[in-house]
Amino acid sequence: MLDLLKSRLTHGYQAIANPLKADIHPAFPGMPILAKSADLYCLNDICPVHAFSEQGLDLGKCTFCGLCSREHPEMISFSNDFKIAADTRDKLIIAPGELELSKIDFRLPRRFHHSLALRNVSAGGCNACEMELSASNNVNFDISRYGVEIVASPRHADALILTGPITANMTEALTETWQAITDPKYLILCGTCAISGGLFAESAAIDRAFLKHWEACLYIPGCPAHPLSIIYAITTIMGIS
Amino acid sequence: MSIGILLLILTIIPALWKRSGYFVILWVLGSAFLAFEYMEVLYSRSLQEFIITMSPPVGIVNIALNKLSAFFGVIFSLGLPLGMFYGHYYLKEHPTKDLCSHLFWLGLMGISMHCVLWIRHSLVFLMFWELMSLSSFFCVLNSKKENIQAGLNYLITMQIGAAFLIAGFVLTYLSSGTFDFSGFEDMNPIPMYLILIGFAFKAGVFPFASWLAQAHPVAPSHVSGIMSSMLIKTGFYGILLITSLNRFSLREIAAMTLIFCVSAFWAVSHLLFERNLKRALAFSSVENVGIAGMGLCAGLLGIHAHMPAMALLGFTGVFLHLFFHSIFKAHLFYTSGNIFLATASLDIDEMGALAKRMPYTALMALAGIMAISALPMTNGFISEFTIFKAVFETPDAALITYILPSLLILICLAFIGALGMIAFLRIYAILFLGAPRSSLSKSAKEQKLGNRLPVFFLTLAILITGIFPNIALRFVKPLLRWFDLDMQQFALLQSLSLKITYVYLIIILLSALLLVIRRLCIKEKIGSTWACAYPKVNPRMQSSSLTYIQPLAYFLKPITYKKCTHVKAQSAFPTNIEYHEEHPDALWDFIVKPATKVITRFFALFNRIHNGKTNSYIAWGLAFLVFALIWVVGFK
Amino acid sequence: MIVRYSKEDIEPQKLDIFLSDIREMLLCGFMPLAFFGTDEKLLYSLMGKNGDLRLLCCQFPNPFHYPSLSVEFPCFNTFERELHQQYGIVPINHPWLKNVRHNHQSSQEIEDYPFLRSKSKLIHEVGVGPVHAGVIEPGHFRFLMRGEIIEHLEIQLGYQYRGMSQLLCKGNLAHKMSLAECIAGDTVIGHGTAYCQIVESLSNTQSQAQDIRILLLEMERVAMHLSTLSSLAGDVAYIMGQNIFAAIRTFVINSTLSICGSRFGKRALCPGGVNYGLNSDQITRLSSEFEKYTRHIQNTSEALFSTTSLLSRFDDTGKLHTNDALRFGFTGISAKASGVPVDARTDYPDWQYPGFLVQTEISGDVYARAHLRYLEIMQSLQIILALLPTIKPHAPLLEPPSKLEPGKIAISIIESARGRIVHIAKSKDEYSALWYKVIDPSFVNWQALSLSVVGEQISDFPLCNKSFDLSYCGSDL
């Protein structure tokens, strides 16, 4: 008992006061800033997932590996802005010179503004996004202070948060889970693999047909998505500023 | 009465011609007349009395009805025709080998059950008692070999019980000088105990109750239903008869309490693990007789301690429980009969998902299961509640000698009630819910209307007497007055029942309202059960009968006797895993079977006499004659 | 450890000599680190014992079967199942010949999968997954239950199969750093280092930043063990332990983030060195932080391991016998907690850990695995604190590897938090690999979970599962 008290007292208070205004170490690769003069073709050659195109950098494909910024720091650099999320796939494409992503316009209906139940389906991810998702529930980040909880049964869920590129072996399980959630339901894609397939997009073992039928309402890029990004994204669609 | 009895005797004619339809119609008519007679006796002051004089030693035979007989008579006259009706439809689907003899013995059993209630003369009573046992034995008999064994066990047990009765009656005659039942007033202890034990055999009280679990599963369902709901009550009728004519000492009451409590507990500990549906119901009958006995003991304690409330509530509890048990036990046995007809099996581990295939049966069975678990809105709740209330009436200032038995009743009733509920929940869940565990239950279909109609009437009876308990209380009232109990307390009980009725009605109304609102406002979408998104769920992926009970079994280990065979995983790559367990009757295995063996071996010693040769028989006969001559001439 | 073979060193032998050599080595105490087939129609077997590595090779048997090694030596059983699934070679008399990574697309295959069944009506099955109640990776567990007691557990994986081996062989091998980091996202440094060492070996370059790699590896070990301890405490409702360990883990992985920008160590490594170095400020800061963490972890662990309610859940639950751990060739915590001192840091060392001794526990139950994790955390923290002052502050080192030498086989062995990681690859030409074999410790260790839960209550299953902390994606690839 005394051990417990000693441990608790020395540990101190760990919760981040306001996750929406927190600071991350500058080394964290958040929002990439493309210089206006950036040679997108050159950068695309270096990029392992070829995330660059004429429009700019597709954050949905970017794995934040930093190869481009280390080779050509003059063309691209990553700030430590963790507020990267979008409600449509197009908004994730960053044009040269853009300093932040377009605002998220989508808002959940009023009844979800103080209570959102998420059901996670891990569809072939490397486990990093899953660990970050459960970390957003821990004593530091504590997403549940906003009324968001991760539930065990899809029958209790309001939204399905997908991590992983959707392997062919998981398609049926994913579809069943989605069908088991009662209306109204929403789809959230967490992590680069979920949004675009990431490094596995060309693998024969991946089957992303599910996303052709169902549209997501929220895209959270990152490899893995940082808990602060997850919290920012979800609280934004819940209407919490 | 004479018309009724005449009609019942006439039923033998269609029986012999295998016309079970007319048989049933005559039974219904005859029972209607009888019921009318019984009700008249119950509610009015008239006493039907006949006196038949026969030659000695039988002497004057008194045939009369008192309120106690009338009470049981009403139960019999309502329950028997229902049983016959169900039997008619049951036998159509599952015919016995010889219909005419089966119907004959069935009719005879019913007639003898009624006659037993009127006879006030020990010897004639015994005659009809034996006739009842014999005819029920023939009804139970089926053609299969194991069933003959079970039937014979039943007959022999009944004969042993009758032996106790004979001994008791003879001793009473010797001490009182008359065969009439009036000789049972203020009996000596020994004959009283013998008679009580004799009746206990019939009623199903530990340790004489093993025959129930053997006879009921093998008998056809209508016979099981009649036996469990009414035949057993004749035994209890006998016990109540002795109770009405005697005063018990405190020690005797305490002993009775202990016996009934142990009996109910023993029954429940078997019921929890039972896989055969009818055997489970048989054990439940023993449990309920135990509960009725607990009520009786509470009533007797009340009389002995001059606590009128306890006395009244205890006796009300007994009578109500006997009446209600007849209703819901018959209901459950007929339901099990329907399930047997649909699935050709009584093993609950082969059933599952019957609710989808037999929706009416499932719904009505729910009422029956709730009644036997003593859940509110059913009549089982009312009777157990009354017995609880009786025990709660033990005043604080009472002596420890009164508190201990009532405490025992309280603890046992609570515990047994909970265990009973667990047991029947397990049975209901395995039978009706989930997925079909075998092809037998997969192909089950709802039974015909004729099979379902008796169950429906009994369900109505359960619900009506459960929601409006005052109806049943009015039925019991004259009997309580006849026992000289405090009717003021009864009035209090009636007003409480009225309040209970109001509460139920409010709940029913609110629920109906909510259902209507839900129907109107909520759009339902039916999807498949969530199974962690595994696409091919098979019927093995649901609880078996062991799953429900295994955690509880851990705590009941000291008092359970089980035989199990367990093939464990032999290595990291097992090829076969098996587990089978059985809960045989420890009493039967450890006392009756060895005793039978000893007795058989003793009689085997006389095999040399019974060697089948006529010559040696003549020789033995001659030797006996010589010996008798010497005895008579020599010593007289 | 890195080992390199040229084509000439490895001559394909005849099947019977191959099998008898393996048997001889097994009887001498060697254990199989890998056993697989490749598209060259060759069968490879990597046997190792205390730093002595032998790579054997033989042609595919013709006809397509051979007497199974698993009958005598169960440590081969998972490898042989994979061989059968990938190439159709039948190991005769294999006791459990089923697909290792089941194809969950074909509904006929799902229905036909030969789960062990029981004829008894009293034994029922419980199927859990693929979608589990918590935020964890998918897998299917089929239990045979006697009431509430587990008689048998069969684990069916394959839901996470992403085709990792094929992806690693497609294109330039030196550019697969991100992919290698994603083999198992919580073992980024483990698999990342193994991959870097493979590329370095095949291109004959020397890594310049071994010390930083070891630092990151030990930090990852601490973070992983803290995460497991946190979830174990959470499973038995010891919320204090759950939250404190999770918070300390956040500190540790934030330290990792301060080095390379990723909480899991992604972006840190590259073939040839590391992308991010440490300056003296960082080193000083890290030293003081880790000293603080050491005290915190010690306090909380003392409280945790003296709580009787927790000990009553952990003690004697999910016992894995030493005999089984030895026979089945388990590695990592799963084996060390049952008394088998197998650790690649001593068996196949590539870095001198001063005064390093393999720690073990004997009882093999959940308590042993939890307590051993605590001991390893303390040991790793000591290693980190001893290592930090010796790291020369230097800028990121990037010596990109030149072309690969074709036809060479490289083997790299790393001890991650879960156990021994083995990467083997053969170079095809100057740029790409002919085949790349990844063996995560979970591949073999899943069997340990099946063995340990027999006879336990099913309600203790999540506890046993978390105590092993195995990777689904590492096993599925």
Subunits with 3+ C-beta pairs closer than 8 A to B: A, C
Give the residue on A whose Cα is nearest the Cα of B528. A180
pLDDT band at C414; cut points 50, 70, 90? very high
Chain A hits for B528, Cβ within 8 Å: 176, 180
Query: Which residue, C391, C472, C436, is CA-closest to C166?
Result: C436
Q: What mean pLDDT comes out for the span C335-345?
A: 93
Give the residue on B whose Cα is nearest the Cα of C449. B572
**C-alpha dihedral sign at B153, B154, B156, B161:** positive
pLDDT higher than threshold 70 for residue B151: yes
Residues on chain A bordering chain B, Cβ-to-Cβ distance under 8 angstroms: 153-155, 172-174, 176-177, 179-180, 182-183
The 10s digit of each residue's pLDDT in C144-184 is 999 999 999 999 999 999 999 999 999 899 889 999 999 99
Residue C341 to chain B, least CA–CA distance (Å): 22
Q: Over chain B, what is the mean pLDDT? A: 89
Q: Is the ipTM here above 0.95?
A: no
In whole angstroms, how large is the CA radius of gyration of chain A?
19
Q: Where does B177-231 have alpha helices with state H?
A: 189-203, 210-218, 221-226
Return the HEC string of B513-545: HHHHHHHHHCCCCCCCCCCCCCCCCCCCCCCCH
Identify the pLDDT of residue B47.
66
Residue B534 to chain A, least CA–CA distance (Å): 7
CA dist., res. A171 & res. A124, Å (int): 10
Residue C306 to chain A, least CA–CA distance (Å): 9
Residues on chain B bordering chain C, Cβ-to-Cβ distance under 8 angstroms: 347, 349-350, 437, 531-538, 540-547, 549-551, 553, 566, 568-569, 571-581
Torsion of CA C231, C236, C237, C241, to 10 degrees: -50
Identify the pLDDT of residue B142.
67
B100 and B17 Cβ atoms separated by less than 8 Å = yes
Instruction: Tell me if chain A has a CB within 8 Å of the CB of C397.
Output: no
In whole angstroms, how large is the CA radius of gyration of chain C?
22
Identity (one letter) of the amino acid at B360?
Y
Q: What mean pLDDT comes out for the span B285-295?
A: 95
pLDDT higher than threshold 80 for residue B446: yes
Q: What mean pLDDT comes out for the span B504-526?
A: 92
pLDDT band at B225; cut points 50, 70, 90? very high
The 10s digit of each residue's pLDDT in C180-217 is 999 999 999 999 999 999 999 998 888 778 889 999 99
Percent of chain B residues topping a pLDDT of 70: 97
Identify the pLDDT of residue B288.
96
C144 and C151 Cβ atoms separated by less than 8 Å = yes
Q: B294 or B178: which carries more pLDDT confidence? A: B294
Identify the pLDDT of residue B341.
93
State whether B535 and A179 contact (CB < 8 Å).
Answer: no
Give the residue on B whose Cα is nearest the Cα of A155. B530
Tell me the CA end-to-end span of chain B in Å, nearest whole number: 54
Residues 181-220 of C with CB under 8 A from A: 182-186, 188
Q: What mean pLDDT comes out for the span C110-116?
A: 84
Torsion of CA C336, C340, C341, C343, to 10 degrees: -60
Q: Find the CB nearest B546 among C95, C122, C152.
A: C122
Return the HEC string of B58-118: CCEEEEECCHHHHHHHHHHHHHHHHHHHHHHHHHHHCCCCCHHHHHHHHHHHHHHHHHHHH
3-class DSSP state for residue C438?
strand
Q: Find the CB nearest A134 among C130, C135, C473.
A: C135
CA B514, distance to chain mean position in Å, is: 39
Q: Find the CB nearest B530 among A174, A180, A183.
A: A180
pLDDT higher than threshold 80 for residue B611: no
Chain C hits for A152, Cβ within 8 Å: 133-134
**C-alpha dihedral sign at B65, B67, B69, B70:** positive
What residues form DSSP beta bridges with C3?
C411
Q: Where does C106-173 have alpha helices with state H?
A: 107-112, 164-169
Give the residue on B whose Cα is nearest the Cα of C142. B541
3-class DSSP state for residue B204?
coil
The 10s digit of each residue's pLDDT in A115-134 is 999 999 999 989 999 999 99
pLDDT higher than threshold 90 for residue A13: no
CA dist., res. A229 & res. C267, Å (int): 19
Q: What mean pLDDT comes out for the span A140-166?
A: 94
Identify the pLDDT of residue B8.
79
Identify the pLDDT of residue B46.
66
pLDDT band at B329; cut points 50, 70, 90? very high
Subunits with 3+ C-beta pairs closer than 8 A to A: B, C
Sheet harboring C140-146: ordered strands across?
A: C123-128, C140-146, C149-156
Q: What mean pLDDT comes out for the span C209-235?
A: 93
Instruction: Tell me if chain C has a CB within 8 Å of the CB of A235.
Output: no
CA dist., res. C301 & res. C161, Å (int): 37
- Which of C123, C157, C452 best tests the B interface by mutation, with the highest count of B CBs <10 A? C123
Identify the pLDDT of residue C272.
85
State whether B527 and A179 contact (CB < 8 Å).
Answer: yes
The continuous run of DSSP H or E covering B356 comes out as helix B354-357
pLDDT higher than threshold 70 for residue B48: no
What residues form DSSP beta bridges with C397?
C274
Residue A129 to chain C, least CA–CA distance (Å): 8
Q: What mean pLDDT comes out for the span C59-86?
A: 91
The 10s digit of each residue's pLDDT in B455-469 is 999 999 999 999 999
Identify the pLDDT of residue C102.
86
3-class DSSP state for residue B397?
coil
Q: What mean pLDDT comes out for the span B476-480?
A: 90
Residue A209 has a CB neighbour count (10 Å cut-off) of 10
Identify the pLDDT of residue C397.
66
CA dist., res. A167 & res. C104, Å (int): 10
Subunits with 3+ C-beta pairs closer than 8 A to C: A, B
Identify the pLDDT of residue A191.
94
- Cα angle, residue B376 at apex, residues B547 and B490 outer, rounded to 5°: 140
- At C235, give phi and psi (nearest 5°): -65, -30
Residues on chain C bordering chain B, Cβ-to-Cβ distance under 8 angstroms: 74, 77, 95-96, 107, 110-111, 116-132, 140, 144-149, 151-152, 324, 328, 447, 450-451, 454
Identify the pLDDT of residue B359.
93
CA dist., res. C17 & res. C206, Å (int): 36
Give the residue on B whose Cα is nearest the Cα of C153. B572
CA dist., res. B186 & res. B184, Å (int): 6
Identify the pLDDT of residue B169.
92
Chain B hits for C149, Cβ within 8 Å: 550
The 10s digit of each residue's pLDDT in A181-198 is 988 999 999 999 999 999
Ranges assigned E (strand) in C40-148: 42-49, 52-59, 65-67, 90-92, 123-128, 140-146
- Cα angle, residue C197 at apex, residues C191 and C198 outer, rounded to 5°: 90
- At B433, give phi and psi (nearest 5°): -100, 175
pLDDT higher than threshold 90 for residue B12: no
Q: What mean pLDDT comes out for the span C91-98?
A: 91
The 10s digit of each residue's pLDDT in B383-420 is 999 999 999 987 766 788 888 888 999 999 999 999 99
Q: What mean pLDDT comes out for the span A91-112?
A: 90
Q: How far is CA B464 from CA B458, B468, C72, in A?
A: 10, 6, 71
What residues form DSSP beta bridges with B563?
B582
Tokens at B361, concatenated:
């049966």
Q: Over chain C, what is the mean pLDDT? A: 90
- Which of C75, C116, C120 best tests the B interface by mutation, with the highest count of B CBs <10 A? C120
C390 and C231 Cβ atoms separated by less than 8 Å = no
Q: Which of B174-188, B385-399, C389-403 has the lowest mean pLDDT?
A: C389-403
What does chain B come to in residues? 636
- Which of B528, B530, B534, B537 best tests the A interface by mutation, with the highest count of A CBs <10 A? B530
Identify the pLDDT of residue C370.
95
Q: What mean pLDDT comes out for the span C355-370?
A: 92
CA dist., res. C189 & res. B352, Å (int): 52
Q: Which of A173-182, B617-626, C99-108 has the lowest mean pLDDT?
A: C99-108
Q: What mean pLDDT comes out for the span C117-126?
A: 92
pLDDT higher than threshold 80 for residue A16: yes
CA dist., res. B8 & res. B130, Å (int): 19
Identify the pLDDT of residue B254.
93
**C-alpha dihedral sign at A155, A157, A159, A165:** negative
- At B594, give phi and psi (nearest 5°): -60, -40
pLDDT band at C398; cut points 50, 70, 90? low
Chain C hits for B575, Cβ within 8 Å: 116
pLDDT higher than threshold 80 for residue A200: yes
Q: Find the CB nearest B530 among A154, A174, A183.
A: A154
Residue B446 to chain C, least CA–CA distance (Å): 25
Q: How far is CA C379 from CA C133, C245, C291, C298, C374, in A?
A: 34, 17, 13, 12, 9
